[in-house]
Amino acid sequence: MPMSTTPDPIGTLEVALSHAARLLDSSPELAAEQAREILKVVPRQPTAVLLLALARRAVGELDDAISMLKDLAFAEPAFAIAHCELGITLRLAGQGDAALAALRRAVAVEPRLAPAWLALGDLYSSIDDRKNADAAYAQHIKCSVRDPTLLAAGAALYENRLPEAEATLRSHLKQSPRDVAALRMLAEVAGRLRRYRDAEVLLRRCLELAPSFNTARHNLALVLHREGKASEGLAEVDRLLAHEPRHASYRNLKAAILGSIGEYESSLALYKGVLGDFPNQAKVWMSYGHALKTAGQEQEGIAAYRKSIELEPLLGEAYWSLANLKTFRFTQHDVTAIQTALAKPDAELDNHERLHFHFARGKALEDAGDYAASFAAYSEGNRLRRNEIYYDAAENGARLRRSRTLYTPGFLSERAGLGCEAPAPIFIVGLPRSGSTLLEQILASHSQVEGTMELPYITAMARALTWSANEAETAKYPDVLAKLSPERWRSLGEEYLASARIHRRRGTPFFIDKMPNNFAHLGLIHLALPNAKIIDARRHPLACCFSGFKQHFAEGQNFSYSLTDIGQYYRDYVEFMAHFDSVLPGRVHRVFYESLVQDTESEVRRLLDHCGLAFESSCLRFYENSRAVRTASSEQVRRPIFLDGVGQWRNFEEWLEPIKRALGPVLEQYPGVPEDFA
């Protein structure tokens, strides 16, 4: 039988579709023309309609693309890629909630559609829904990766089996050191373990091998933000936004970075933009509330928190955010809603939200004068939080003892004068909830002083020094400081000032770093910045410790979730500061909170005198200062000093025996210091 010379219509169609698809990246106009020709011959052909829509999207005609994709998805409900591309296009058009719905439909139709899972992960990440984001990214790995080793590592990462994930990935990378997917996953492990420097190195290697790997670049920007490297983080996120200016995750991250360096107007504008795309996402409203609160817009912040609760009634963190305003009072309706949420089974309310509800309930009950029930609520919130974090009081005590051993008069005198001589920094150290924010607000009301925030740079410097030590020497901090060259001490001070520069906007001679935990690094501060001023904010042990116990900190302060731990931490702090008073008399100026509220003017004059500043009456009217304040005391320091808070802990004294035992003689001799501490 002779062969037919008639063209195969199916083969011809497939060739034409394939040709149009190849043209999409290089010439979307030609791809659109090819798709239209196909549709003349085969009207409503699904793949041709999809290609035409994608071509319209590529040239910026988003409305046309969305209209075509909506029609296609409606006509072909089982065409998963149509739902996926509709979701991606809706996201580009700023319709975030609709994008989520379309992408959810895509993976419901085809659970192994890797691009849809990746897009879902990005969208969930942009609205701070880490649980769903992690699940979506895990599914993306499962659907897109064929290597069984990476599949196993991805599963371990999703289930938070971090040691197993790390071991698997390191073994794989020995065989395939250029595998950028594995490098990014290992960086994710390092990030979750707060080994941000390791994560940064891995992600930079990813981008060296694959400069267009935007997921890795986004991860790098986030890691840099967490390291306190705001300038570098902004540079990376701006590179991403140059390609996708409406990408919600990128805008959300940029808003957070800008907020961290005091650019609140720009930060708030970005959050507003994200909310335009995601008007029904509770966690975005909550982030917006945080930014408003910090910028001093209390009522607007409350409204944002209320909106997040309206959208997600079981968002315990939003209730705690309201309680954390300190000056806020819950209504009876709020209290009933909190109790209703806490009655939910674990399947409906996870522990992270539950602990926030307990902290919020503790505040509501304390305001109502029901101290027994309030203490029980605070205790349960702390118990749940303590189970989430790692803290070893013995390790902390050992580290401070090593510091006391190292910082002898001889050690300090041998290195005197080696550091950077700039007098600009004023460090306020101590414990959280000790009155440090009040001191900062007073000093920041002086014409020569700028308040910044709790800067991470001294802690980051200490970590970097430990990491850079020769591993064979197994040197621990602060022992590594003994090996620093004379030149290194000066460069450390200069590095600190360079890092802090991005926070300084007013051009004043002095600025404040209010990171309380810096007390553990006084030796490093003194030697690297010998002319910096150091202020120790100290408050009655039971007042300070119990105030910390009532506080759920966003991060860090892991010692504060146990009465015994926080009491021991306070005792270790007093002993360490007594050592410095002994070896460097007068180097640290101490302000007792109780004295400050009883005789404010005298204490303020002493404080200014120590800092070499002339008295200015504006420091007594600190509550008129409209500067942004990021700490839990942000609303309290915008009001005049009041005495009511001095003895609030006495309402709970009968339950504070564990703190008293841990404090020992520190409590008995306050404000004095046990003689054997020096």
Q: Tell me: the pLDDT tens digits for 357-406?
A: 999 999 999 999 999 999 999 999 999 999 988 899 999 999 999 999 99
pLDDT of 7: 41
Q: Which of 2-16, 136-150, 436-450 has the highest mean pLDDT?
A: 436-450
Within-domain flag for 113: no
Question: How many CB atoms sit inside 10 A of residue 638's CB?
Answer: 18
Question: Do 508 and 560 fall into the same domain?
Answer: yes
Give the pLDDT band of residue 289 (cuts 50, 70, 90). Answer: very high
Q: Kindly state the helix (H) or strand (E) to which residue 573 belongs, with its residue range.
A: helix 563-583
Give the pLDDT band of residue 430 (cuts 50, 70, 90). Answer: very high
Print the domain residue range for 606.
419-677
pLDDT of 2: 41
DSSP 3-state assignment of 478? Answer: coil
Question: Do 427 and 371 fall into the same domain?
Answer: no
Residue finishing a domain among 386, 411, 441? 386
Q: Under the phi-then-psi rule, with left for phi > 0, alpha for psi from -120 to 50, and beta for the rest, what region is 199?
A: alpha
Question: Do 462 and 574 fall into the same domain?
Answer: yes
Within-domain flag for 401: no
pTM beyond 0.85: the answer is no
Question: Do 505 and 362 fall into the same domain?
Answer: no
Within-domain flag for 663: yes
Of 542 and 21, the one with more pLDDT: 542
Cis check for the bond before 7: say yes or no (omega within 30 of 0): no
CATH number at residue 616: 3.40.50.300
Number of domains in the chain: 2
Within-domain flag for 233: no
Q: Give long-range contacts, CB 8 A cutoff, 24+ apart: 143-149.
A: 143/112, 143/113, 143/114, 143/117, 144/114, 144/118, 145/181, 147/172
pLDDT of 130: 79
Mean pLDDT of all residues in 346-357? 94
Of 263 and 666, the one with more pLDDT: 666
Residue finishing a domain among 386, 404, 439? 386
Give the pLDDT band of residue 570 (cuts 50, 70, 90). Answer: very high
Within-domain flag for 50: no
Cα–Cα distance, 265 to 163 (Å, whole number): 41
Q: Which of 75-79, 246-250, 457-461, 464-468 has the lowest mean pLDDT?
A: 464-468
Residue finishing a domain among 386, 404, 427? 386
Asked whether the beta carbons of 355 and 552 are under 8 A apart, the reply is yes
Question: Do 352 and 430 fall into the same domain?
Answer: no
Cα–Cα distance, 566 to 408 (Å, whole number): 27
Asked whether the beta carbons of 187 and 219 are under 8 A apart, the reply is yes
Within-domain flag for 564: yes
Backbone phi, then psi, for 294, in 5-degree steps? -60, -35
Instruction: Decide if pLDDT at 640 tops 90.
Output: no
Average of per-residue pLDDT values in the chain: 90
Question: Do 425 and 556 fall into the same domain?
Answer: yes
- Nearest CA-CA partner of 253 in 285, 211, 224, 296: 224
Q: Which residue has the tokens 């996402």?
A: 281
Q: Residue 672 burial by CB count (10 A; 0-12/13-18/19+): exposed, middle or buried? A: exposed
Question: Do 592 and 458 fall into the same domain?
Answer: yes
Question: Do 590 and 465 fall into the same domain?
Answer: yes
The arrangement of strands across the sheet holding 510-513 comes to 449-453, 510-513, 425-430, 533-538, 588-592
Cα–Cα distance, 560 to 189 (Å, whole number): 26
How many residues comprise the chain?
678
Question: Do 341 and 482 fall into the same domain?
Answer: no
Asked whether the beta carbons of 607 and 443 are under 8 A apart, the reply is yes
Question: Do 381 and 441 fall into the same domain?
Answer: no
pLDDT of 632: 45
DSSP 3-state assignment of 267? Answer: helix
Q: Which of 18-22, 52-56, 336-340, 389-393 has the highest mean pLDDT?
A: 336-340
Question: Do 662 and 553 fall into the same domain?
Answer: yes
Question: Do 367 and 481 fall into the same domain?
Answer: no
pLDDT of 5: 39
Asked whether the beta carbons of 255 and 270 are under 8 A apart, the reply is yes
Within-domain flag for 518: yes
pLDDT of 475: 65
pLDDT of 11: 52
Give the pLDDT band of residue 641 (cuts 50, 70, 90). Answer: low
Asked whether the beta carbons of 564 and 659 are under 8 A apart, the reply is yes
